[in-house]
Amino acid sequence: MTRPLSEIASLIRSKNAGPFVLTFDIMLPSQADYDRVKASGKLSAANFAALYGCPIGDVRFFECPNALAFKFSIPRPRIQGDIGDADMHGGQQHAPLMSIMIP
């Protein structure tokens, strides 16, 4: 059964990794869930770049099997606190990840 990532993951979050980088964490509650998400191929640097409209070369992607987690980092579109920065802490940028459909 296909389900959105938000129904499978125990945590999906974004936050600043300094004033120039956003980092995204997706944590799964079990090995089976981690394996399912990994096997789907939906979490990849290419898919993340397309979802966030950034060059694939800017995406740093990490699989963390010992933590049942995936991590992405990208340059912030605006430096933290710059004029026009609507999310000072980067905590609202994870929303597009929630609706990724996982078979």
The answer for residues whose C-beta is within 8 angstroms of residue 30's C-beta and 6 or more apart is: 68
Q: pLDDT (tens digit, 9 = 90+) per residue, 58-97?
A: 999 999 999 999 999 999 989 999 999 999 999 999 999 9
- Mean pLDDT of all residues in the chain? 97
**pLDDT tens string 13-56:** 999 999 999 999 999 999 999 999 999 999 999 999 999 999 99
Could you give the 3-state DSSP secondary structure of residue 42?
coil
Q: Where are the domains of the chain?
A: 10-79
User: Quick one: CA dihedral 55, 67, 22, 37, positive or negative?
Assistant: positive
Residue 102 is classified by DSSP as E
